[in-house]
Structure 1
Amino acid sequence: MRRLIALGVCLIVVVELLALTVQDRRFVVAAAGVALALVLLSIRRILGSDQQPEGELDADEPGESLRRWLATTETTVRWSESTRGDWDRHLRPMLARRYEIATGQRLAKDPAAFHASGRMLFGPELWDWINPNNITRSGDHQPGPGREAFEEILRKLEQV
């Protein structure tokens, strides 16, 4: 729609410039009126048809959304099967945010309650992989917990 309006304004300006180059000035108003009528009719046609022009297809159609979700999910699963460094950079922050949202516990509000409820919900072994304060800078190449632990964490988050 924006593109059509911009092109319409450009068309009107170009028509007026061309009409000004002609010796007979009475064509200026007529040519600008015709160009404006074409632009307005095009806008009315687009608004009246409830469809977007082929060049302006909505990028958020269901198929595209599904493809983006699938690509994000595949990447997340790959990170779960990767090293501890990938887990710490990508999955731990995401899981900690989802834990905060699901339980209502905030680390900044009450750190002791945050950690206690995390250990109680996930158990000490899984909580070590969610705890946002358990990041190691030196163990980047150590293996992560794997896909099974990731699935178990997600399963427990769904039950909350």
Structure 2
Amino acid sequence: MTKLVVGAVALVVAVQAFAFTQLERELVLTATGAALVVALLALRRRLVPNRDPEDEHVGDEADAALRRWRGRTETLIAWAESSRADWDRRLRPMLARQFELAGGHRKAKDPNVYQMTGRMVFGDELWQWVDPQNISRTGGREPGPGREVLHDILVRLAKL
């Protein structure tokens, strides 16, 4: 960086010295301006890296992934705040699967251990909303548990 600045100053001084020997004022001004522009362009090129089109592509992919995640999260919250049937159909299987993966206890292996672990992790209040066996056959008109319950369940899953 220092070499670039010293070189730019030397170039401007050399151009001015040459232009003064010619004794033409327009030439002095034009030559000095041109040398200064070249020096500033070199400095800018050195300080501001070129943008790679692939970097923009990566940014677009990250933005698209963030939009997909946000849309999915908004959908999950909407299901949590709608009816019990939506909760049972859409959220309960996903939460139960995440519990099996996070806890390492498979329901098919030992249902009693699975139930006891679920009650220990979530407590009786939250376990009723995760337990895959607690599906309501007439829950179409009942309200879902809501955003707060979903949040509490996800926090407890994250702690596993």
**Residue in 2 aligned with 1:32?**
none
Alignment of 1:7-156 (within 5 A): 61-156=61-156
C-alpha distance in structure 1 between counterparts of 2:131 and 2:140, whole Å: 17
Structure 1's unaligned 5+ residue stretches are 1-49
Query: Runs in 1 of length 4+ with deviation above 6 angstroms?
Result: none
C-alpha distance in structure 2 between counterparts of 1:125 and 1:51, whole Å: 52
Deviation at 1:51, TM superposition (A): 7.4
Q: Which entry has the higher C-alpha Rg, 1 or 2?
A: 2
Structure 2's unaligned 5+ residue stretches are 1-51
Task: Compute the TM-score of the two structures, normalised by the length of structure 2.
Answer: 0.62
Where 1:115 maps in the other structure, the secondary structure is helix
Identity of aligned residues (%): 53
Equivalent AA in structure 1 for residue 76 of structure 2: T
Q: Please provide the CA RMSD for this pair.
A: 2.1
C-alpha distance in structure 2 between counterparts of 1:51 and 1:144, whole Å: 47
Equivalent AA in structure 2 for residue 75 of structure 1: T
Higher helix share: 2
Where 1:92 maps in the other structure, the secondary structure is helix
